[in-house]
Structure 1
Amino acid sequence: MGFANLFVVALMPVLKVILMTGVGFFIASDRIKLLGSEPNRHLNNIVFYVLSPALAASSSAETVTFQSFMTLWFMPLNLLLAYIFGSILAWLLIKITKTPGHLQAIVIGCCSAGNVGTLTLIMIPAVCEESNNPFGDPSVCSLHARSYASLSLAIGAIYMWSYVYGIIRLYVNKTIENDSTSETAAESCTELDVLPSIDVDGIPLLTTSFNGTIAKLSAWKKIMRRMKSISEKVDLKKVFAPTAIAAIVGFIIGIASPIRKLLIGNEAPLRVVDSSAYILGETAIPCMTLIMGGNLSRGLNGSDVSRTVIIGIIGVRNILLPLIGIGVVKAALHLGLIASENKLYHFVLLLQFAVPPAISVGTMTQKFQLGQCETSVIMLWTYVIAAFTLTIWSTLFMWILA
């Protein structure tokens, strides 16, 4: 296929995402106000606690079997590498741009977590629906596309709400502790200034005692902080969010044959449970896309986030990570870790490195009450640029694979 034809195939799914996001953007505007701050928060909670878990559970339970999971085993590793490389690049970006402490968690989240759920569920089946797609018969392609996209969503949910959520919470706690330490130090200095200075044989006793106490408190605080950090890492109730737990439950249902026969299929005794979860899950995609549009509209208000940080995040997500993704998939092919004939699977693996930041990062900043305006601005610009770069990368990926 020619490059121009591949470009058209890649453009159609991106246009669908733009149109659906545009609806959310429009109804959240100041003129319409159907998706204002309060409705957005309530809808976000519904997606977080109900719709997204239903989607992750039903999708993984229906499409993931023991055989398919063994065939697609590299996808969890591929996604993990994408998150790790994104985190490393985010750390370098923070050091280079000297990002303020209250924005570091947002930078980490935007660089490490890609939108491997909503976008893949929309884009990959849409690519297959094009008659001139490079992946074969549209009906067969669409069947595999939903399986791959669902697995990407489920695994992404686990990484998102364990790995990324843990890192963001760690940075948020670090920022709060630094602010508290600064306030405590300022208060201590104020108290020291009003106390009389008493010297015995020329030795400032008060200052010496004060410095020694501060050193002991500082060492004790570091020990306590480390113990707290370790305890938080093993606290599974706080680490795993509803979507991640639901995805794990879906995996168990899909892989365990006796449980699968009870819930999945037209003859399953408890098929009504799966059907209900499926209906709820289907509504998650449009709701998440509307929320995405609503969050992006808030980026028009501006914030104090520097252009350098925004450009850096765009460079990481839209340029560096896709290049790294090509290297990862090529290396996996060379080492025989993935089958060479499954081009659609390769395309999904590559696309996981090229998507813009996950909208769930905005959900996390809302829950932590941290830099919501800054997150909206970053999301707005990364998604505007991604409308072009995602089309180009998708075209390039298909051209490489074809």
Structure 2
Amino acid sequence: MGESVLFALHKEVKSGEHAISAILPLLKLITVALFGLILTKVQLVPKATFKQLSKLVFVLFLPCLIFTDLGPSITLYKIVRWWFIPVNVIISTTIGCILGYMVALICRPPEELFRFTIIMTAFGNTGNIPLAIVTSVCHSTDNPFGSECSENGIAYASFSQWVSVALVYTLVYHMMEPPLEYYAIVNEGGEIQEVPIDNSRPLLVEAEWPGLEDQETEHSKTPFIARLFNSISRISNRNVPDLDTVEEAGDERNVPDIDAIEEAGDERNVPDIDAIEEAGDERSENNPISIRCLAERGMVRKIKIVAEQTPIHHILQPPTIASFLAIVIGVIPAVKKFVYSSDGPLEFITDSLDIMSEAMVPSVMLILGGMLAEGPNQSKIGIRTTIGIIVARLLVLPVIGIGVIYLADKWNILISKDDQMYRFVLLLQYTTPSAILLGAVASLRGYAVKEASALLFWQHVCAVVSLSLYMIVFFDLLFSYI
């Protein structure tokens, strides 16, 4: 009886320690963010200063952090063992898309914001926020993850960034295209008149994509894909009769019976397709086979055009380049020793980069505080949809994430049970609010900028509570049961 009481008391003490270890890192980050909020509110620091600070984070502080922590940790063997980290980003995004689709069906946002609802639910922040949380957790010497907490945690969080960036510049970029009905007004003459777009950009746009105006292209603010494929639909649906009906009707328009021609060997009524195409046969416009072939050829050509218009080259941003460089150097032992070794010739450069990397976390949190100080913009997405996205993204998805990681662990997909930081980073990928980069993409496409700003504001406010709750749950699971 006495042993049971002592065991229960010991368990309570351990749970309390886990709660403190989980909450304190978040309190540190919130305190830094409050400084940014206060500086913005009392106008001690202008908004332009935060924009310049965000550029420093993007092109200097964050790449330095990734390069100095990922490079020493990575090896070819570890790349093979860490394969589940990028896969987990794809899994969490897929589950998020399903949840977002359910939210859109249940909450019924305005029709032009249906895709936007799915995107804001699906794509979480897998960059700055996980890195800030890991750094804050590892800042204490008595952290539960051991002496290599910071090095391993930043390496794991950095290793997944390239997947998120690739998804944003391909899938998200096209899904955030302005809907055709929302963008254009079709008058009686069939001409398209553009609707004026509000180009005002809140601070959140600059938080993860500075210099956004330089990234705009000819079609970035137009429903390019919708207009491109709308012409295919008109071609394929115009004057195209049902082939089965034509055959059953007995060819009233002098269309020969192909089977009969083949049996009889009649070569007189078989048209030369190449000759028709070269001569521009006017009758091909009424030929359903020709029209459908034309639509199919046009479809392939336009898919190629869409691929050319996809800004995949933007993936090569400073943080992504730093990740690639760190991986390349890390997997070559001789080069790795030359760059990262304490007695290597370039050790003084690595130390300088390490010093600059320490400014990354406080800068990011100051920018976040400045972003929240602007407050939520007016949004026509509706309170019901806003609540639905927040609940799905911050409350439901983390629970599903716990189940995914638990099953992956049971199926021996994850690495050794001793590395709890690996599991912690995987769990964080399900827990963060929507990526701030989504607001930047919305501004780039000229679509739902105010709605993105409002949603990101409320998600980050609510994430203070949800992250605190799930951090306690994660620590309790990682150090009590797993």
Cα 1:323/1:285, change in 2 over 3 Å: same
Cα 1:221/1:296, change in 2 over 3 Å: farther
Q: 2:153, 2:422 within 8 Å by CA — same for their partners in 1?
A: yes
Matches of 1:305 and 1:261 in 2, distance apart? 53
What is the CA deviation profile of residues 94-121 of structure 1, one whole-angstrom value per residue up to 9, with x for unaligned ones?
Answer: 3443444664565444323323333333
Matches of 2:343 and 2:53 in 1, distance apart? 35
Shift of 1:217: 9.3
Letter in 1 for 2:333: S
Which residue of structure 2 lines up, in the alignment, with residue 146 of structure 1?
151
Q: 1:25, 1:297 within 8 Å by CA — same for their partners in 2?
A: yes
Which residue of structure 2 lines up, in the alignment, with residue 169 of structure 1?
173
Q: 2:169, 2:314 within 8 Å by CA — same for their partners in 1?
A: no
Q: Is 1:54 the counterpart of 2:55 in the alignment?
A: no
Letter in 1 for 2:19: F
1:220-259 to 2 correspondences below 5 Å: 225-233=302-310, 236-259=312-335
Matches of 2:182 and 2:431 in 1, distance apart? 36
Matches of 2:93 and 2:232 in 1, distance apart? 42
Cα 1:290/1:256, change in 2 over 3 Å: same
Matches of 1:69 and 1:190 in 2, distance apart? 54
Which residue of structure 1 lines up, in the alignment, with residue 49 of structure 2?
39
Q: 2:70, 2:159 within 8 Å by CA — same for their partners in 1?
A: yes
Q: 1:64, 1:151 within 8 Å by CA — same for their partners in 2?
A: no
Which residue of structure 2 lines up, in the alignment, with residue 188 of structure 1?
189
Letter in 2 for 1:375: A
Matches of 1:222 and 1:92 in 2, distance apart? 30
Aligned to 1:22, which of 34, 52, 59?
Answer: 34
Letter in 1 for 2:168: V
Shift of 1:179: 4.7
Matches of 2:151 and 2:188 in 1, distance apart? 58
What is the CA deviation profile of residues 225-254 of structure 1, one whole-angstrom value per residue up to 9, with x for unaligned ones?
Answer: 533333345x64134433223212221111
Aligned to 2:423, which of 346, 351, 355?
Answer: 346
Matches of 2:114 and 2:68 in 1, distance apart? 35
Which residue of structure 1 lines up, in the alignment, with residue 436 of structure 2?
359
Cα 1:67/1:239, change in 2 over 3 Å: closer
Q: Is 1:279 the counterpart of 2:355 in the alignment?
A: yes
Shift of 1:223: 6.0
Q: Is 1:311 the counterpart of 2:321 in the alignment?
A: no
Matches of 1:84 and 1:127 in 2, distance apart? 28
Q: 1:64, 1:147 within 8 Å by CA — same for their partners in 2?
A: no
Q: 2:67, 2:325 within 8 Å by CA — same for their partners in 1?
A: yes
Alignment RMSD = 3.2
Deviates more, 1:282-291 or 1:44-53: 44-53
Aligned to 1:28, the other structure's residue is in SS state helix
What is the CA deviation profile of residues 165-186 of structure 1, one whole-angstrom value per residue up to 9, with x for unaligned ones?
Answer: 322210233x165555x33x32
Q: Is 1:88 the counterpart of 2:88 in the alignment?
A: no
Matches of 2:366 and 2:426 in 1, distance apart? 26
What is the CA deviation profile of residues 44-79 of structure 1, one whole-angstrom value per residue up to 9, with x for unaligned ones?
Answer: 333333333333333321332334334433222222
Q: 2:156, 2:422 within 8 Å by CA — same for their partners in 1?
A: no
Q: 1:25, 1:294 within 8 Å by CA — same for their partners in 2?
A: yes
Matches of 2:191 and 2:306 in 1, distance apart? 31
Letter in 2 for 1:150: A
Aligned to 1:122, which of 129, 132, 146?
Answer: 132
Deviates more, 1:141-150 or 1:345-354: 141-150
What TM-score does the superposition give when structure 2 sets the normalisation length? Answer: 0.67
Shift of 1:189: 4.9
Q: Is 1:386 the counterpart of 2:467 in the alignment?
A: no
Consecutive unaligned residues in structure 1, runs of 5 or more = 192-211
Percent identity, aligned pairs only?
24
Letter in 1 for 2:175: Y
Matches of 2:356 and 2:312 in 1, distance apart? 26
Cα 1:18/1:306, change in 2 over 3 Å: same
Which residue of structure 1 lines up, in the alignment, with residue 202 of structure 2?
none
Cα 1:288/1:126, change in 2 over 3 Å: closer
What TM-score does the superposition give when structure 1 sets the normalisation length? Answer: 0.79
Shift of 1:125: 4.6
Letter in 2 for 1:242: P
Q: Is 1:324 the counterpart of 2:400 in the alignment?
A: yes
More helix by share: 1
Matches of 1:79 and 1:239 in 2, distance apart? 16
Cα 1:93/1:245, change in 2 over 3 Å: farther
Aligned to 1:63, which of 49, 69, 73?
Answer: 73
Cα 1:251/1:298, change in 2 over 3 Å: same
Matches of 2:456 and 2:390 in 1, distance apart? 10
Cα 1:186/1:333, change in 2 over 3 Å: same
Q: 1:54, 1:246 within 8 Å by CA — same for their partners in 2?
A: yes
What is the CA deviation profile of residues 200-229 of structure 1, one whole-angstrom value per residue up to 9, with x for unaligned ones?
Answer: xxxxxxxxxxxx999239969866653333
For this pair of structures, how many residues does the alignment match? 370
Aligned to 1:364, the other structure's residue is in SS state helix
What is the CA deviation profile of residues 71-97 of structure 1, one whole-angstrom value per residue up to 9, with x for unaligned ones?
Answer: 433222222212222233223333443
Cα 1:59/1:369, change in 2 over 3 Å: farther
Cα 1:256/1:309, change in 2 over 3 Å: farther
What is the CA deviation profile of residues 184-207 of structure 1, one whole-angstrom value per residue up to 9, with x for unaligned ones?
Answer: x3252589xxxxxxxxxxxxxxxx
Shift of 1:315: 1.4
